[in-house]
Copies of this chain bind each other. A is one copy, B any other.
Amino acid sequence: MTPAHQNAFRGIWPAMLTPLTESLDIDHDAFAAHALKLLDAGCGGVTAFGTTGEGPSFSVAERMAAVEALVARGVPASRLMVSTSCAAPSETVALTRHAVELGVPGCLVLPPFFFKGVSDQGIIDAYRWVIDRVADPRLRLYLYHIPQVAGVGLSHHVIATLLKQYPDTIAGIKDSACDQAHSVGLANAFMPPLTVYVGFEPDLQTLGRLGSTGAISGLANFVPRLVHRLVTQPDAPTAARDQQRVKELLAIFEGFSLMPALKGVMAERDGQASWLRVRPPLVALTGDEQAELRRRLLALGLDPAHD
């Protein structure tokens, strides 16, 4: 077989925000419209149910139904990445198998995130559980590191062990620790063969220079081309200006809870109320906060619809 990393994704696969209906269920129509718009904007694909997409706030059944609804509404399964991360390895198996059988080319998988302080061996066992039980040669798994949220991270030892044992399955590493030194350390250790995809946009340029070829990014929900340029052309004449723009964009979110505020930007962009809702335990922006967000966007003079 071909080592998985040789088919690892390239370009930007935005970590899609998840629009919600009034009852806080997933708004399938708005979700698919968002995905299709991002693909039209040149994204390599789109990612559903990562941290930005509040993935673990939805049940297995809700996540399966939403992925099916995306495909039914015209999002090619081949351009979908699905985060299938759950506290229970058996639920991660169910979601991963479901995605693979639909033709999804990559699954993004956190370590189980309920127990803390678990050993490397326990984390390796959990990934082995998923890979061995899905038992499908089509599975391409991206290791997902976001310890400040999950409470459990991935050591170099875990990554090296899994890569050695499952070279046909382990396709890459998504590093959302927001710690440049950590991302560079991963790149030095594993890239190549694996691509390290950073989630923290200020580090895209640095990782691009080291050879990273893509990203799963939250900001890419509304500035996909900007994110794409930074990582794929880190030394282009536009790069310094793009880097500055990323800094300004992130400053918009200071003092706000990130996911509700990212959704608030979406609502400003297209006026849809489905972006103003989050599922508990997140809390939507208040009207005053949304007004402040709007003020900051205007002050920036940046039209997020055009990067």
Q: Is the CB of A283 within 8 A of B122?
A: yes
Q: Is the CB of B56 within 8 A of A88?
A: yes
Interface size class of A (residues with CB under 8 A): 35 or more
Q: Is the CB of B56 within 8 A of A114?
A: yes
Q: Is the CB of B60 within 8 A of A149?
A: no
Across the interface, which residues of B come within 8 angstroms of A60, CB to CB? Answer: 59-60, 91
**Which residue in B91, B115, B282 is a CB contact (below 8 Å) of A122?**
B282
Across the interface, which residues of B come within 8 angstroms of A111, CB to CB? Answer: 281
Judged by a CB distance under 8 angstroms, whether A87 is at the interface is: yes
Judged by a CB distance under 8 angstroms, whether A100 is at the interface is: no
Q: How far is the CA of A122 from the CA of B88 in the complex (A)?
A: 23
Q: Is the CB of B116 within 8 A of A280?
A: no
List 17 A-B residue pairs with CB atoms under 8 Å apart, sorted by A's residue number.
A24-B129, A56-B112, A57-B114, A58-B90, A59-B88, A59-B90, A60-B60, A111-B281, A114-B149, A115-B282, A116-B148, A119-B257, A121-B283, A122-B280, A125-B283, A128-B280, A151-B151
Most chain B CB within 10 A, of A87, A149, A283, is at: A87
Most chain B CB within 10 A, of A119, A123, A279, is at: A279
New A-B pairs, 17, CB < 8 Å, besides A57-B115, A59-B90: A57-B87, A57-B89, A58-B90, A59-B86, A59-B88, A62-B88, A87-B114, A89-B280, A112-B280, A113-B114, A115-B149, A115-B282, A116-B149, A119-B257, A119-B283, A122-B282, A125-B283
